[in-house]
A = this chain, B = another copy of it.
């Protein structure tokens, strides 16, 4: 069954709000096994809404709309559908009573325009709204099913769960299910990663394999269709194993897991303590590590050593190292890692120094040049990177790299 989601509302066309309803519905409908192949957005205009709904009815079996069920003159979704399908509107008594009760309960006078909300196309299945005044509507018309839901996310989501999902199940039965799993990687570029698994991407149709770049990470998304969850999981497990054999060392987590979560678990499990000396990241790595509940178990503390004086006094960098190699050098990163580890008496120490930009470049040391060092039981290791992008992008990518190097360092312990 092909589904189109039609979002209505001039505020969407003006960009005043982001369309979170479409993402919610797409996710729910896909997980129930329906193929959402199109999404459209149109304003509160009779002619254009008619055009958009006509197109949707032509190319999709099920059309799910949000918005335009309110009491105002701008709320026209039901009228447009009724006209398209040649249905008359009638006053749906039970809805009128529910709306009247809603206002009575809140001691608000009900105005005439609220009656509009109880007008329904002939032959419609009415969906009660337990969270607001606008009922939803399902209209079955030949090969098409049209489902109108209210615009406010809280009302729409509740009505989908309570009314639409059970209806779809009863009417269309199991459509099988679609299950996705995301393997999150850091350390390999998008095209290099694709090269590693291109044959799999081309040779696979169930699960499908897609690559997505997401704030400095590359995600490998596996999406399986099957009759039941167990079968979908099995299909994913098979291809996941092959992918892990090829690029496993770059995968730090799955689905919603962040790199700071993954690293935090490793530190906690092995009872390792950590301190950082951060220069170019300015505290970002520490802040991300402390986003994780329980991080006080392993993060002892950090120093943001922006000035050279603080690098010397608080992070234990020898003045001679700074004088000989400069603040942005592998030697200084190594001294920061060793110095903070010793000053804060932790198992692992990290030093990170670089040029976040946009200023600060010198000959031989461009913006984006970063040195990361990790000191611990396995000795002190330095890494050099050159990142591109804005100041905050360089900071973010540097933080990703710090956390990823730490992951590899702990794994090898």
Residue ranges of A at the interface with B (Cβ–Cβ < 8 Å): 7, 10-20, 22-30, 36-43, 45, 48, 51-52, 55, 59, 70-74, 102, 105-111, 113-114, 131, 152, 154, 178, 180, 189-192, 194-195, 201-202, 210-213, 221, 223, 276, 278, 281-287, 289-291, 293-296, 299-307, 309-310, 313-314, 343-345, 356-359, 366, 386-393, 395
How near does chain B come to A369, taking the closest CB pair, in angstroms?
A: 11
Q: How far is the CA of A194 from the CA of B112 in the complex (A)?
A: 11
Q: Are B304 and A301 in contact (CB under 8 A)?
A: yes
Query: Closest 5 CB pairs between A and B?
Result: A282-B290, A15-B27, A283-B283, A15-B26, A283-B286
15 sampled A-B residue pairs with Cβ under 8 A:
A14-B27, A15-B23, A15-B25, A18-B19, A106-B388, A131-B393, A281-B287, A281-B290, A282-B295, A283-B286, A283-B304, A291-B395, A296-B306, A304-B304, A314-B343
**Chain A: interface secondary structure?**
mixed
Q: How far is the CA of A26 from the CA of B370 in the complex (A)?
A: 37
Q: Are B210 and A11 in contact (CB under 8 A)?
A: yes
Q: Are A70 and B190 in contact (CB under 8 A)?
A: yes
Within 8 Å by CB of A283, from B48, B105, B302, B393, lies: B302
Q: Are B303 and A299 in contact (CB under 8 A)?
A: no
Q: Kindly report which residue of chain B lies nearest to residue A17, judged by CB atoms.
A: B23
Known interface pairs A26-B12, A39-B12; A386-B107 also in contact (CB < 8 Å)? yes
Q: How far is the CA of A326 from the CA of B27 in the complex (A)?
A: 46
Within 8 Å by CB of A19, from B23, B195, B303, B388, lies: B23
How near does chain B come to A298, taking the closest CB pair, in angstroms?
A: 9
Q: How far is the CA of A314 from the CA of B310 in the complex (A)?
A: 11
Q: Are B24 and A359 in contact (CB under 8 A)?
A: no
Q: How far is the CA of A30 from the CA of B42 in the complex (A)?
A: 15
Q: Are A303 and B301 in contact (CB under 8 A)?
A: yes
Q: Are A154 and B390 in contact (CB under 8 A)?
A: yes
Known interface pairs A282-B291, A283-B302, A289-B282; A15-B37 also in contact (CB < 8 Å)? no
Q: Are B27 and A16 in contact (CB under 8 A)?
A: yes
Q: Are A301 and B305 in contact (CB under 8 A)?
A: yes
Q: Using Cβ atoms and an 8 Å threshold, which residues of chain B touch A201?
A: 73
Q: Kindly report which residue of chain B lies nearest to residue A59, judged by CB atoms.
A: B51
Known interface pairs A105-B386, A300-B310, A306-B301; A287-B284 also in contact (CB < 8 Å)? yes
